[in-house]
């Protein structure tokens, strides 16, 4: 899992282990409250790829809502 603080939000990129690789998802929180979550974005063969895509989604969400 990757996380960082961005424009007042905590953003997360997740890799969800699956039988044939990893699913990517992203989450945005603020003050310990979940603001948005992506659900499954796509499937990848590595955790790193999935986390990057989840983080990219979260950063884009913040950019489009601030």
Q: What is the DSSP letter of 46?
A: S
pLDDT in tens, 2-51: 999 999 999 999 999 999 899 999 999 999 999 999 999 999 999 999 99
Region of 45 please: left (phi>0), alpha (psi -120 to 50) or beta. Answer: alpha
Q: Kindly report the length of the chain.
A: 66
pLDDT in tens, 2-12: 999 999 999 99
Q: What is the DSSP letter of 52?
A: H
């Amino acid at each position: 899992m990757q996380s960082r603080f961005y424009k007042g939000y905590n953003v997360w990129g997740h890799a969800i282990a699956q039988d044939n690789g990893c699913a990517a998802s992203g989450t945005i929180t603020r003050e310990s409250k979940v603001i948005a979550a992506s659900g499954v974005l796509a499937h990848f063969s590595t955790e790193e790829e999935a986390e990057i895509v989840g983080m990219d989604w979260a950063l884009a969400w913040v950019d489009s809502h601030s």
